[in-house]
Amino acid sequence: MTYVTRMVVLILMVIIPISSSSFADDGISADFEIMLADLTSSKFKKRTQAIEKLVKINDKRLPLVIDALLHSQLHYRKADKLVAVLTEKTGKDYASAVLTGESLGVAISSEWKKIIISNRLRTTLRDALAMIQLNDENATIRKTAVDQVLSQIDVKQLAALEKRYKIEQDDDVKEKLNVAISTLKLKKNEGDTRNLIANVKDSVNPSVRQVLAEVIDNVNDKETKNLATKTLAKIDQRVSQYAKVETLFFGLSLGSVLVLAAIGLAITFGVMGVINMAHGELIMLGAYTTYVVQLWFPNLIEYSVLIAIPLAFIVSGLVGILIERGIIRFLYGRPLETLLATFGVSLVLQQVVRSIFGPLNRAVESPTWMSGVWQVNDALALTWNRLYIIVFAVLVFFILLFILKKTTLGLKVRAVSQNRTMACAMGVKANWVDAMTFGLGSGIAGVAGVALSQLTNVGPNLGQAYIIDSFMVVVFGGVGNLWGTLVAGLSLGITNKLLEPWAGAVLAKIIVLLFIILFIQKRPSGLFPQKGRAAT
């Protein structure tokens, strides 16, 4: 070996370890690419071995791969075996390369093949992801990891939890770790059982309840059994209370939907005396407006709902004005004929939508800030979309109340509804007020459609599911009274949800309907009847 050759070898021996070390420090492993390539194998056994090796590699891209595998989003391109994550947005799949993070644009399904895993591997992946997340910098992610380990009641992870507990700085995470460690020790029958029970007495986690039930069945010491029984009873009582809170929340969210759907009808039916059977279709148009916004602006999903709200108001409002100017204005004072005419309009609008968008339901994607749940604790979770809809319904109500009570349009609407002849004599253009009032009620219906698009699929028959409920809310609350609409909508929503656990969804609706019929028999004007000239 010459002097030059020796020098080259010596330099390489120095450079290679340094570069390898820096490569590892960046959280990137050379073995990661090899194992990733093995996932594209047609042999299931080879894919299984690759995953089992992959979860042991220290690489910052590993959580992305595990999450994609668990959600069936990991694919490889048939042409070159490139592994990528496919995520759906507005009905299309978008690919992103795992190794480089490069966006590959829209993925044609025929060019990609999904990487299939078994249920046993899913358990392995969940455990591996939990262990990775247990040491994440984000405290929220660490909490999620602890919850994942606790939900599996996997005693094999006890050592990892205890190791993390010694270095954990966040008080909330440390408390969760203490509960998880105590629960797993109770499961293993390791340590002082009474102290461990005391550690978990404030938790409402289902795994804690399960392990306490096992302790009660298996422990021989009478005092320990009594302590476990009392602790479990207190936990069950708290869980029951949280269940009632959750039922109340779902009742309020259903009531908010009913208020949004009925508040526009409270104007057209309550103030103008028009039985508008096309009101449900105006709600549907608002929902389809949201779908179209997402279809046209796929990169603005986060803002699509905010963009759709004014657009839905304009679209449904203009359609409402066209209905009023084209049909309704010739039928004032003839409620039965307005009912039949608007029923025909509803059928026409449904068919128009079917012709444009097709008969199938369309899915509207929720923005990230409206997705997921607010996990108050292990027994209570509130969905963000319903929480936002409750707030939105109250906001719409007060804006509409302000318009009717504090603006010139509202003053003219009230004047025409109370004494049309006198209002005309004072120079109020009654025809213009009629059109604007109907347009306002229709626009609010469109806004309700935007909210409904975040709870259910959008289809031609969407409005039909809410038209009857809307009339029930208006009549029950008091015709033409916005406060009555708010109280009636929330009351009916909460009542429905309270009845559902023991009566079922269908029977609960029937009971509510019978109650309203009996109530109207005794009090025909509703909860908040109009007074003065407006009552005539």
Give a three-class secondary structure readout of 304-332.
Answer: HHHHHHHHHHHHHHHHHHHHHHHCHHHCC
User: Which pLDDT score is estimated for 15?
Assistant: 41
Token pair listed for 114: 């999904």
144-170: pLDDT as tens digits: 888 878 887 877 778 888 888 888 888
Token pair listed for 322: 């066209």
Grade residue 20 by pLDDT with cuts at 50, 70 and 90.
Answer: very low
Q: In this structure, what DSSP letter does residue 298 have? A: G
- 240 contacts: CB under 8 Å, gap ≥ 6: none
Dihedrals phi, psi of 104, to nearest 5 degrees? -105, 5
User: Which pLDDT score is estimated for 271?
Assistant: 66
- 397 contacts: CB under 8 Å, gap ≥ 6: 259, 263, 482, 486
Residue 17 has pLDDT above 60, yes or no: no
Please count the other Cβ atoms lying within 10 Å of the Cβ belonging to residue 391: 10
Token pair listed for 511: 């009971």
List of long-range contacts for 482-488, beta carbons under 8 Å, 24+ apart: 482/263, 482/266, 482/397, 482/400, 482/401, 482/404, 483/528, 484/266, 484/526, 484/527, 484/528, 485/259, 485/262, 485/263, 485/266, 485/270, 486/259, 486/263, 486/397, 487/527, 487/528, 488/262, 488/526, 488/527
Cβ atoms of 526 and 484 within 8 Å: the answer is yes
Percent of the chain with pLDDT over 70: 92
Cβ atoms of 362 and 291 within 8 Å: the answer is yes
Average pLDDT of the residues in 276-301: 89
Residue 124 has pLDDT above 80, yes or no: no
Grade residue 387 by pLDDT with cuts at 50, 70 and 90.
Answer: very high
Residue 307 has pLDDT above 60, yes or no: yes
Lowest mean per-residue pLDDT among 77-81, 355-359, 483-487: 77-81
Top pLDDT among 529 and 313 is at 313
User: Which pLDDT score is estimated for 524?
Assistant: 74
Cβ atoms of 170 and 140 within 8 Å: the answer is no
User: Which pLDDT score is estimated for 363?
Assistant: 83
Buried-exposed string 328-340: b where 16+ CB fall within 10 A, e elsewhere:
beebbeeeeebee
User: Which pLDDT score is estimated for 533?
Assistant: 47
Q: Which residue has the tokens 């209370």?
A: 241
321-341: pLDDT as tens digits: 999 888 888 887 787 888 889
Picking from 265, 266, 270, the residue whose alpha carbon sits closest to that of residue 280 is: 265
Grade residue 315 by pLDDT with cuts at 50, 70 and 90.
Answer: very high
User: Which pLDDT score is estimated for 530?
Assistant: 62
Average pLDDT of the residues in 78-94: 80
Counting Cα atoms < 13 Å in the Cβ hemisphere of 35 gives 21
Average pLDDT of the residues in 6-32: 46
Grade residue 447 by pLDDT with cuts at 50, 70 and 90.
Answer: very high
Residue 34 has pLDDT above 80, yes or no: no
Grade residue 289 by pLDDT with cuts at 50, 70 and 90.
Answer: very high
Four-residue CA torsion sign, 214, 218, 222, 224: negative
- 43 contacts: CB under 8 Å, gap ≥ 6: none
Token pair listed for 247: 């039922």
Average pLDDT of the residues in 442-457: 89
Please count the other Cβ atoms lying within 10 Å of the Cβ belonging to residue 469: 22
CA-based max dimension of the chain: 114
- Domain spans of the chain, in order of start: 3-120, 134-219, 247-473
Grade residue 10 by pLDDT with cuts at 50, 70 and 90.
Answer: very low
Dihedrals phi, psi of 138, to nearest 5 degrees? -85, 125
52-84: pLDDT as tens digits: 777 777 777 778 888 888 888 888 888 888 888
Exposed, middle or buried, 205 (CB in 10 Å: 0-12/13-18/19+)? buried
Grade residue 309 by pLDDT with cuts at 50, 70 and 90.
Answer: very high
Picking from 147, 518, 452, the residue whose alpha carbon sits closest to that of residue 283 is: 452
Q: How many residues can be counted in the chain?
A: 536
Q: What is the mean pLDDT of the chain?
A: 82
Residue 9 has pLDDT above 50, yes or no: no
Dihedrals phi, psi of 107, to nearest 5 degrees? -100, 125
Cβ atoms of 397 and 263 within 8 Å: the answer is yes
SS (H, E, C) 218-280: HCCCHHHHHHHHHHHHHHHHHHHHHHHHHHHHHHHHHHHHHHHHHHHHHHHHHHCCCCCCCHH
User: Which pLDDT score is estimated for 443?
Assistant: 92
Grade residue 23 by pLDDT with cuts at 50, 70 and 90.
Answer: very low
Picking from 497, 441, 437, the residue whose alpha carbon sits closest to that of residue 470 is: 441
SS3 89: strand
Cα 383 to Cα 243, 374, 390, 455, distances in angstroms: 14, 6, 11, 11
Average pLDDT of the residues in 116-131: 76
Distance separating alpha carbons of residues 371 and 180, to the nearest angstrom:
28
Exposed, middle or buried, 356 (CB in 10 Å: 0-12/13-18/19+)? exposed
Residue 318 has pLDDT above 90, yes or no: yes
Grade residue 360 by pLDDT with cuts at 50, 70 and 90.
Answer: confident
User: Which pLDDT score is estimated for 29?
Assistant: 64
User: Which pLDDT score is estimated for 16?
Assistant: 40
User: Which pLDDT score is estimated for 3?
Assistant: 45
Distance separating alpha carbons of residues 344 and 227, to the nearest angstrom:
68
Q: Write the DSSP string, 117-136.
A: --HHHHHHHHHHHHHHHTT-
User: Which pLDDT score is estimated for 348?
Assistant: 92
Q: SS3 helix, strand, coil % of the chain, rounded to 5? A: 70, 5, 20
Lowest mean per-residue pLDDT among 2-6, 46-50, 507-511: 2-6
Average pLDDT of the residues in 293-301: 86
Q: Which H or E element spans position 510?
A: helix 505-522
SS (H, E, C) 377-419: ECCEEEEHHHHHHHHHHHHHHHHHHHHHHHCHHHHHHHHHHHC
Cα 227 to Cα 139, 194, 230, 235, 488, distances in angstroms: 33, 8, 5, 12, 46
Q: In this structure, what DSSP letter does residue 504 have? A: -
User: Which pLDDT score is estimated for 30?
Assistant: 66
